[in-house]
Structure formats: C-alpha cells, structure tokens
C-alpha cells in the first residue's frame, strides 16, 4: 500500500533545522573555533609521538635487545608526556562542558583524547614513569622468552606443530606445560603492573584499569560483565553439546575413559582458543605441502584485492617482519601475530612467523583485516585521533570473520588448496 508523499514531514523539517543550526554553529561558534584550534594541535602532536613511539616499539618486538628496550621506554615516556599532559586534559574537559555547541566529530576527538590521557596521566608523573618502565620490562620478558622442553630450546611454532600432530599424551602434556613456562616468568612484574595500571586509571576517575578498558567501548564495568554473562547464557546449550561431543571424540582418539572436563593438553591450541583437528575431513595440513610462506601472505592479500581493495603499500612488503627467525640466527622476536599502523598513514606493517600451514593461512587473513582497516582510515576526513577501531574488539571481530571466510570450501577451492572434485562429491553425497 502507498501513501502519497507529503512535501515535508514534521520530522524532516526538524532534521533540516538541526542540520542548519549545526552548520551555522560550526561556522560561527567561538567554542567550536577554540575546539578546532586545539584539536589541530592535538592531532599533530598525537600523530608525531605515536609514530616515534610505534617505530621504537616495533624495533623492540622484532629484535629484542637492551638498547631497543631503552629506546622504546624513552619513546613511551615522551608519548605519555604529550598524551597525558595536564594542559591537554584540562582543555579537553573544559571544551566537553560545552558539548552541545560542538560538532559530533569534535566531541569524539575530545573523548578519545581523554581516553588516551588516562593511559598515562601526567597529573601523576611518577606513577606514569613507573608504569611505562614496567610495561617495557614486561614486553621484553615476553618477547625474548625462551621455552625449554627437556632443557632444550623449542620455538612457539614448534610447540604448536607438536600439539597439532602428537597423539602421545605424555609428550602432549610435556609440550603443553612447556608452553606455560612464560607465565611463571611474567608473574612478578605482572602483579606490579596490575597495581600501576589500576593507579593510572584512577587518576582520571575510572574505577580501575578494567573500567578504563570498558570505557573505550562506551560501557561501564557492570554493563560489560552483563553482556558477557548474556553471551554465555545464550551459547550454553550449544556449548554443552559441542563440549560433550568433543570429549567423547578426544577420549576415543587417545584411548582414554571419557573425562568430565577436557584436559587442556588434549586440545591442539595451547590456549584452547580453537578446537581443531577433530574431524578427519576438515584437516587441511596435507594441502599445504609444497607451498611457501610467501604464497600464504600473498594469497591473503589477494583475498582483499579480490573484494576490490587496492594492494597493500609497497612499504608493507619491505618493512614487515613476516617469517620465523631462521635457524642459527640469534635474533629474538615476538612470536604473536600483529598488525601495526606505524605513522597512522601509509606505513602499515605486520609481525608474523608464517609457515605454510592452515593455522598461519587463517592468521594471515586475519592480520591483513587490520591492515585493510588501517588503509581505510587513512583519509583526510578522518582525524589522526580517530584512526582506530570503533572499539578495541571491533577489529578482532572482523578479523575473525575474515579468518572464518578464508576457511570455507569454495574459497579453498578457488585458491587451488582443495581439489574441486572432492568437495563436489561431498556436496552430492550430503544431499
């Protein structure tokens, strides 16, 4: 059914008036002019110090040495000295008192400034100094940690490969326990960091560090916990079914009685983040034989160019650190995958230790999801302060979605990883 359109509904007229008054305010309001001047300075300083800080941190995670740690610590302090400067905090707070007279873009930037400031508020310089030092120390301990199995060094990739392949429960347990050695080494400084982080967050009125983290989502601690509880409640029926099926399947695999809870070393992933290798037909390792690590990351880029995005900048390929440290090389680097927006513009880099296997294939697709978001933010209309995800979990959600997409049969066929005939037969037989 159609109603004949009226020239303007009341709501449309209000919208027009609102748009008119906003643009008029943007052009004339002294408070908006003051915010614009302040934000152009804040964006320039934020960008410059972020670049220096990230460059120093990048060096420290890709080549762990006392010199690089020291440079990273100094850069971290310089960034905090600007981001947490009391004058910046005061001006942002003062301007936000006049929120209703400011554009939404200005309000968002001012809120982001205060979130950044809360990470290192120079209203308490001694506390911030201690935090930056403890963070640098923690990163260095983690990045240079050497796992040892039976007194012999073992890399993180080797740990993952053994957990993926071994069916010997004694060996699995020894390897899994090896993967937890870093916890004991990290604990003393982490306890110190907990108190420093909580102290820093309280400076700008957050209840604790967790409260500062949830503020980045625009939520309170209670709201965040309620949301998590709700997720768990909704997923519980599905989780119980999957858990039951998995424990029977694993008991059969290891010739053990069915346990009440699944022992952690029975799962292939050292954090039990994923339960892989349970279905024979879903095992993809064999299809990666003969592939190279370079092929893995190039294929991941093609996923995005195939969607119509432009290729990654040339500097991505010259400045990233994508492959494991070669045998015999003494260099120590962080073994977790990550993606970096060094200068908040075109300098996008990724840190990985890619090997030609399914796990790194999916991870490479995930990481480039971050990279393509960084590329998308790097436009003149997006202020440097806002070149970040809608919330800290947003990128991860999208990255995981793309990682999942990269594991689907039609995509794997299109890349020549799965032979086409096999999945067609599967589809016919499943009908």
Interface ranges with Zn ion (CB under 5 A)? 396, 399
The minimum distance between CB 358 and Zn ion, in angstroms, equals: 17
The minimum distance between CB 371 and Zn ion, in angstroms, equals: 10
| CA torsion through residues 240, 164, 414, 394, sign | positive
Pick the closer one to Zn ion by CB: 25 or 398: 398
User: What span, in angstroms and rounded, lies between the C-alpha atoms of 337 and 365?
Assistant: 11
Phi and psi for 5 in degrees, rounded to 5? -70, 135
The CA-based dihedral angle spanning residues 392, 112, 390, 41, taken in that order and rounded to the nearest 10 degrees: -120
The CA-based dihedral angle spanning residues 176, 181, 186, 190, taken in that order and rounded to the nearest 10 degrees: 40
Q: Which residues pair with 339 in a beta bridge?
A: 350
The minimum distance between CB 115 and Zn ion, in angstroms, equals: 20
Q: How far is CA 401 from CA 5, 175, 298, 311, in A?
A: 41, 30, 19, 20
User: What span, in angstroms and rounded, lies between the C-alpha atoms of 285 and 279?
Assistant: 13
Asked whether 177 and 145 are in contact (CB, 8 A), the reply is no
The minimum distance between CB 337 and Zn ion, in angstroms, equals: 7
User: What span, in angstroms and rounded, lies between the C-alpha atoms of 332 and 148?
Assistant: 15
| CA torsion through residues 38, 43, 48, 54, sign | positive
The minimum distance between CB 176 and Zn ion, in angstroms, equals: 24
Pick the closer one to Zn ion by CB: 101 or 400: 400
User: What span, in angstroms and rounded, lies between the C-alpha atoms of 282 and 273?
Assistant: 17
The minimum distance between CB 208 and Zn ion, in angstroms, equals: 25
Other beta carbons less than 10 A from residue 279's beta carbon: 8
H-state helical runs in 63-180: 66-83, 86-97, 104-118, 125-143, 156-165, 169-179
Pick the closer one to Zn ion by CB: 251 or 405: 405
Pick the closer one to Zn ion by CB: 227 or 401: 401
Residue, CB closest to Zn ion: 399
Pick the closer one to Zn ion by CB: 397 or 410: 397
**Dihedral-angle region of residue 320 (phi above 0 means left; psi in -120 to 50 means alpha; beta otherwise):** beta
The minimum distance between CB 103 and Zn ion, in angstroms, equals: 31
Pick the closer one to Zn ion by CB: 118 or 368: 368
The minimum distance between CB 399 and Zn ion, in angstroms, equals: 4
Pick the closer one to Zn ion by CB: 211 or 369: 369
Of 420, 426, 417, 160, nearest in space to 286 by CA: 417
Pick the closer one to Zn ion by CB: 63 or 396: 396
The minimum distance between CB 400 and Zn ion, in angstroms, equals: 8
Pick the closer one to Zn ion by CB: 194 or 336: 336
């Amino acid at each position: 059914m159609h109603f004949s359109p009226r020239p303007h509904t009341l709501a449309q007229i209000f919208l027009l008036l609102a748009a008119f008054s906003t643009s008029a305010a943007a052009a004339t309001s002294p408070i908006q002019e003051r915010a614009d001047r302040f934000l152009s300075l804040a964006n320039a300083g934020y960008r410059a110090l972020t670049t220096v800080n990230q460059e120093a941190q990048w060096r420290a995670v890709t080549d762990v040495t006392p010199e690089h740690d020291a440079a990273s610590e100094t850069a971290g302090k310089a960034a905090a000295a600007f981001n947490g400067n009391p004058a910046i905090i005061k001006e942002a707070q003062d301007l936000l008192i006049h929120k209703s007279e400011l554009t939404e873009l200005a309000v968002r930037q001012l809120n982001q400034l205060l979130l950044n400031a809360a990470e290192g508020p120079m209203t308490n310089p001694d506390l911030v100094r201690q935090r930056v030092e403890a963070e640098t120390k923690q990163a260095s301990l983690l990045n240079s940690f050497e796992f040892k199995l039976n007194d012999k060094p073992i890399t993180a990739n080797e740990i993952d490969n053994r957990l993926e392949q071994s069916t010997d429960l004694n060996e699995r347990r020894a390897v899994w326990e090896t993967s937890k050695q870093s916890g004991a080494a990290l604990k003393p400084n982490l306890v110190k960091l907990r108190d420093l982080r909580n102290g820093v967050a309280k400076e700008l009125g957050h209840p604790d560090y967790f409260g500062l983290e949830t503020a980045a989502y625009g939520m309170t601690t209670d709201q965040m916990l309620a949301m998590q509880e709700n997720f768990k409640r909704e997923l519980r029926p599905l989780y119980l079914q999957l858990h039951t099926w998995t424990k029977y399947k694993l008991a059969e695999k290891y010739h053990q009685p069915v346990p009440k809870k699944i022992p952690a070393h029975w799962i292939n992933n050292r954090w039990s983040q994923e339960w892989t290798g349970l279905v024979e037909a879903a095992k993809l390792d064999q299809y990666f034989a003969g592939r190279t690590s370079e092929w893995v990351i190039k294929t991941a880029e093609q996923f995005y160019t195939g969607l119509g995005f432009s290729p990654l900048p040339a500097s991505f390929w010259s400045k990233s650190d994508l492959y494991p440290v070669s045998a015999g090389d003494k260099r120590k680097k962080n073994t977790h995958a990550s993606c970096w927006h060094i200068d908040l513009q075109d300098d996008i880099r990724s840190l990985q230790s890619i090997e030609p296997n399914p796990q790194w294939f999916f991870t490479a697709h995930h990481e480039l999801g971050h990279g393509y978001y960084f590329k998308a933010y790097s436009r003149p209309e997006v202020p440097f302060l806002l070149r970040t995800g809608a919330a800290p979990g947003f990128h991860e959600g999208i990255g995981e979605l793309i990682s999942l997409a990269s594991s689907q049969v039609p995509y794997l066929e299109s890349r020549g990883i799965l032979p086409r005939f096999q999945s067609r037969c599967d589809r016919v037989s499943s009908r």
